Amino acid sequence: MSRIIPACLTLLCLALPCHAEIFQWTDADGKVHFTDKPPANQKSRTVDIRTPGGTAPSPSAAPASTSGNDDALARQRRMLKTLDEEKAVKAEAERKATAQRNAQQQNCATLRDQQRQYNEGGRFYSLDDKGERKYHTDEEIAKQQEQVNRALAKCR
C-alpha cells in the first residue's frame, strides 16, 4: 500500500506535459555542448526539437492530445479514488481489530481477577429474584473456577 501512492504520484507527474528549452553552444576548444541552461559569457542558440516524424504537430492534432491527457487524468483520478477507498477500508479494519483486541484484554483482566478471588477462597453468592443472597455450594464454585481457568487458557 505504501508503494502504490508514490507510484501513482509519479504517474501523475509524468502525464503532465512538459517543455524545456535546449541550448547549443561551442566552448573554447571547439566542442559543441547541449544544455538546458544558457552558458554564462558564451554565445548560444536555442535548439528546436522535432517530433519523431520530423514535422511539427499540426493544430488539428492538439485536441487529440488533450483528450489523451484527459483520459490519463481520468485514469489517475480513478486510481487515486481506488487507493483512497482501499486506505479507508484498511483503516476501518485496523480500528475494528484494535477495538476487538482491547475488549479481549479487558475480558482477560476480568477473568484473572475472578481467578484470584477463587484462589483466595471464601464464600461466593449471587442475588436471587427477591434480592436475597444465595450462597454457592462447593461443587458450583469448583465448576465456575474450572470455567474461568479454561477461558483464561485462551488469553495466554
Asked if 152 and 112 count as a contact pair (C-beta separation under 8 A), the reply is yes
Asked if 23 and 34 count as a contact pair (C-beta separation under 8 A), the reply is yes
- pLDDT at residue 9 in the model: 73
**Which residues lie closer than 8 Å to 17 by C-beta, 6 or more apart?**
65, 69
Asked if 42 and 27 count as a contact pair (C-beta separation under 8 A), the reply is yes
Phi-psi category of residue 123: left, alpha or beta, with phi > 0 → left and psi -120 to 50 → alpha: beta
- pLDDT at residue 99 in the model: 96
The pLDDT > 90 percentage for the chain reads: 42
- pLDDT at residue 13 in the model: 65
Mean of the pLDDT values across residues 127-134?
92
**pTM, rounded to two decimals:** 0.45
pLDDT tens profile 36-62: 888 877 777 877 776 565 555 555 544
More confident residue, 32 or 61: 32
Provide the residue ranges of all domains of the chain, joining segments of one domain with +.
73-154
- For the ranges 41-55, 63-77, 99-113, the lowest mean pLDDT is seen at 41-55
Mean of the pLDDT values across residues 19-28?
78
